[in-house]
Amino acid sequence: MQPLSVLQLTTHIQQVLEKELEPLVWVVGELSDFRQAAQGHVYFELVEKVGNHVQAKIRANLWQFTYRSVAAKFESVTGTSLKNGMKVLAQVTVTYHPVFGLSLNVKDIDPSFSLGERARIRQETINRLTEEGFMVQNARFPLPRVIQRIAIISSATAAGYGDFINQVDGNPQGYKIFHELFQSLMQGNEAVDSLLSALDQVAEKAEQLQLDAVVIIRGGGAQLDLDCFDNYLLGVKIANFPLPVFTGIGHERDESIADLVAHTPLKTPTAVAEFILSSFREFEESLGLIAQRLDWITRSTFQGEAQKLQGYTLRILGESKQQLAREGEKVRNWGMRIQQAGKNGAKQEKNRLSQKEELLKKGWQHFLKRQQDKLAQIEVSSRQLDPSNLLQKGYTRTESKELPIHLTTLEPGDRIVTHTFNQKISSTINRIEKK
């Protein structure tokens, strides 16, 4: 047996998993070694135990953009956060890397599965805003799948603003994010009025600019410099704002009121930039997963059709053999009757039987040829149904918001994705002409 290199073996394992395993799988396990990295991603192990004995375990990760929505949904339903020792039902993709091995990428966690295993806890009232229901007011907005257009409230000279712009505009993937600055004082006695005025300006231009969210950022500072973000009126304004509000104020202490009432509080401006960019990466991964699932379904369909064709071939061959056997038996019977009829007619009958046998052979050869031609036509038709044939001929498939363009209404500024045989082209509509 020819030995394999380690790379050949691990690559083969990777190919087998991608071919045979469905792209999305639901799995039950216990959270272990649950930890959140500085950039917001969560890493842990899914474990199966009998008593205290670990029967099986596997590494898993939950990326920042997905974790925030999953964790928020989980806590709103169960009244508690994700932590070690919990038994969960997770939707995952199974990945295998030749260097890093087997792991799971968690896409969703079903909170109703875990609800019956732990008691709800009461949330304590922490301040006046909580009593008045403002703490979750801004969080009611669902985030778009990709955050593409934002308003920024900051000082143009703030170091945090510069860091944010550098990270957003200079991202290595080349993602394009529209942003417009609404300047405000970020400290001092007049900062609250300045922030409120900036939020009013954003609200007036939100529809014109087609904004997805508002970002309030600065680069941290001393305690007295940040007191403006604990203002009650600013908290109410953020809670009632008609768009999701992200904060990256740079606190080293506990969260400010602005953080608590915001849709998505993050520690620093660069953390806000990373969160926005992660929405692009998550969307790209979702598209890849859809393509992978389509490929898996296509391959499965062709394998099933190939098995059907093989079955038809075997049936035809079997029936042909049976028919030939029956005709052979008839020929033998005729031979015996001819012998019994007498020697004088033997030669004549033998000739007649030979002629009949030849005709039978030609007839069944013709029958088999017709059946083989039918099988060839079925095979050609099956190949013509392969969608890749149309793409190879130069046809393309264009989608908007994951739907074929004839099933959705397009507007200038919308993004579309065009699939060719060997390319995926992302475009932005500048003009639409009616035909």
The DSSP line for 193-228 is HHHHHHHHHHHHHHHHHT-SEEEEE-----TGGGGG
pLDDT at 120: 35
Query: Which position has the token pair 């409120």?
Result: 196
Same domain, yes or no: 370 and 394 = no
pLDDT at 115: 62
- Distance (Å, rounded) from C-alpha 46 to C-alpha 84? 10
pLDDT at 428: 93
pLDDT at residue 87 is higher than 90: no
Q: Report yes or no on 403 lying in a domain.
A: yes
Number of structural domains, the chain? 4
Query: Which position has the token pair 């909580």?
Result: 130
What mean pLDDT do residues 312-316 have? 84
The mean of the pLDDT values for the chain is 83
CATH assignment of the domain containing 63 = 2.40.50.140
Q: Which helix (H) or strand (E) holds 264?
A: strand 264-266
Same domain, yes or no: 159 and 253 = yes
Same domain, yes or no: 136 and 236 = yes
Among the three residues 205, 237, 267, which one is the final residue of a domain in this structure?
267
pLDDT at residue 162 is higher than 60: yes
pLDDT at residue 335 is higher than 80: no
Among the three residues 385, 404, 422, which one is the final residue of a domain in this structure?
385
Q: Report yes or no on 46 lying in a domain.
A: yes
What mean pLDDT do residues 225-245 have? 85
Q: Report yes or no on 299 lying in a domain.
A: yes
Query: Which position has the token pair 């990709």?
Result: 146
More confident call, 207 vs 113 = 207
pLDDT at residue 29 is higher than 70: yes
pLDDT at residue 309 is higher than 60: yes
What mean pLDDT do residues 249-274 have? 81
Q: Report yes or no on 196 lying in a domain.
A: yes
Lowest average pLDDT, out of 12-26, 119-133, 191-205, goes to 119-133
Q: Name the pLDDT band for 310 (thresholds 50, 70, 90).
A: confident
Q: Report yes or no on 1 lying in a domain.
A: no
Q: Report yes or no on 325 lying in a domain.
A: yes
What mean pLDDT do residues 46-63 have? 87
What mean pLDDT do residues 266-283 have? 87
Q: In what order do the strands lie in the sheet with 245-248?
A: 178-183, 149-154, 213-217, 245-248, 264-266
Same domain, yes or no: 360 and 395 = no
Lowest average pLDDT, out of 45-59, 231-245, 327-341, 358-372, goes to 327-341
Threshold 0.85, pTM exceeds: no
Q: Name the pLDDT band for 177 (thresholds 50, 70, 90).
A: confident
Same domain, yes or no: 423 and 360 = no
- Distance (Å, rounded) from C-alpha 232 to C-alpha 215? 19
The number of residues in the chain equals: 435
In terms of residue numbers, what domain contains 53?
A: 6-115
What mean pLDDT do residues 415-430 have? 90
Q: Name the pLDDT band for 393 (thresholds 50, 70, 90).
A: confident
Q: Report yes or no on 279 lying in a domain.
A: no
Same domain, yes or no: 299 and 362 = yes
pLDDT at 242: 92
Phi and psi at residue 376, in whole multiples of 5°? Answer: -65, -40
Same domain, yes or no: 407 and 304 = no
How is residue 246 written in tokens?
Answer: 């992200």
How is residue 154 written in tokens?
Answer: 């900051």
Lowest average pLDDT, out of 113-122, 224-233, 321-330, 397-406, goes to 113-122
CATH assignment of the domain containing 200 = 3.40.50
What mean pLDDT do residues 343-353 have? 72
Q: Report yes or no on 281 lying in a domain.
A: no
Same domain, yes or no: 12 and 99 = yes
Same domain, yes or no: 101 and 220 = no
How is residue 339 written in tokens?
Answer: 């012998």
How is residue 240 written in tokens?
Answer: 């009632």
pLDDT at 46: 93
DSSP state of 302: H
Lowest average pLDDT, out of 19-23, 231-235, 255-259, goes to 19-23
In this structure, the number of other CB atoms found within 10 A of the CB of residue 128 comes to: 12
